[in-house]
Amino acid sequence: MYVVPPPERSGSGSDRDLRVYQTWKGSNIFFLQGRFVFGPDVRSLALTICLIAVPVTIFCIFVARKLMDDFSDSWGVSILAVAVVFTIYDLILLLVTSGKDPGIIPRNAHPPEPEAFEGNMDAGAGQTPQLRLPRIKEVEVNGITFKVKYCDTCMLYRPPRCSHCSICNNCVEKFDHHCPWVGQCIGLRNYRFFFMFVFSTTLLCIYVHAFCWVYIRKITESEHTTIWKAMLKTPASIVLIIYTFISMWFVGGLTAFHLYLISTNQTTYENFRYRYDRRSNPHNKGVVNNFKETFCSAIPPSKNDFRALVHREPPLPPRSVAGGFMSPNMGKANDDIEMGRKAVWADMGPAMSEHGNNERLHVKDGELGELSPDVRTTVDEQRDRPGVHPRRSSWGRKSGSWDMSPEVMALAGRVGGEQHQNRGGSSSGSGLVTENRHT
């Protein structure tokens, strides 16, 4: 299983070496460098393989090998050969179903642009109404109107018959269900193999079950005994008969259920959620055409190239919000701002370099009131002690021998000039008050 590595610095060589399966945001597990994609519960695949291979192995050793002596010519060999070939065919269908892309729709890197305003349209002056994506949209396919929903995880509108699998964390086309026995979602691209796997497993259970009874019958005829005594002579056959009988109810019932779904062109998800039995099914094309669509139509190619190199997209430019701008850092913690750290001014570096380090920073009236207390204290210290340049360190401690940063110098210069004018204007008034008190 590949874990997404932490983001590297731009320009590093490792970014160009990453492939899609290494940066995949879903919960899938990849093997052989992205050639096989499995679900997060792929470990259950080993259990399914054991549930198929172990009983067949017992059948070949204790039943089929004994039947080779009871049947003349090549009939005895064919019983063993059919069991082995049928098991290999069944396991191949299982691996194809589990390791194949079920029809995953690639998620978008960014949400689509909103088409209309939602919410309060009577925004005040200088305010921009908030753009929101509609949760449901109506699309028309072959003259039939479908409602498609927006997926917040994949940031796309799901096509008709598509659903988001909470286990694999992907949107899957023609989503049927997530099968824990194969460890994969069942969708558009692997449903055919899933049904063939379930159907072939049913036939394999019937085959083993039937020849176990044949072997018991042979013992009864050769030893002229009752069927109960013959069953005691081959306990392996009894175990296989019970095991295959229980399995046939499970896989056989599943096969019958999916035959009904195919004949009506439904998925398991649609059958349990929409109940097309109570209303018309817009996907039903007739029994014959429905079977042709499932087994005779071409499987669409995968929309994901898991071995392709990942191309890093440039960051989005800041968007205008209510006459201002939205910073890419909006939403981050503001500890640096409140602590008056140098990181606050890091974003102003390009702007400061354009005006020069010795030029004053033009600050509008009222903006100084929004500064943090640490910065304002530093400005007052600079005004009262012109010979020393104290400032706040990154840990909030005073360091009297350190030089003051150019940004604080610019702010202090403007504050000092304005306060000097205010003191000059108010000095005459204070003098009159003092004179009146003495009088």
Q: Which residues are catalytic?
A: 179
Q: Are 437 and 408 in contact (CB under 8 A)?
A: no
Q: Are 360 and 414 in contact (CB under 8 A)?
A: yes
User: What's the distance, Cα to Cα, between the start and end of the chain in Å?
Assistant: 91
Q: Sort residue 388 into left (φ over 0), alpha (ψ -120 to 50) or beta.
A: beta
Max alpha carbon distance in the chain (Å)?
Answer: 143
User: Which residues partner with 31 through β-bridges?
Assistant: 36
User: Which residues partner with 139 through β-bridges?
Assistant: 146
Residues with Cβ within 8 Å of 157's Cβ and at least 6 positions away in sequence, in order, are: 112, 137, 148, 149, 150, 151
**What's the one-letter identity of residue 195?**
F
**191 burial level (CB within 10 Å; 0-12, 13-18, 19+):** buried
Q: Are 40 and 170 in contact (CB under 8 A)?
A: no
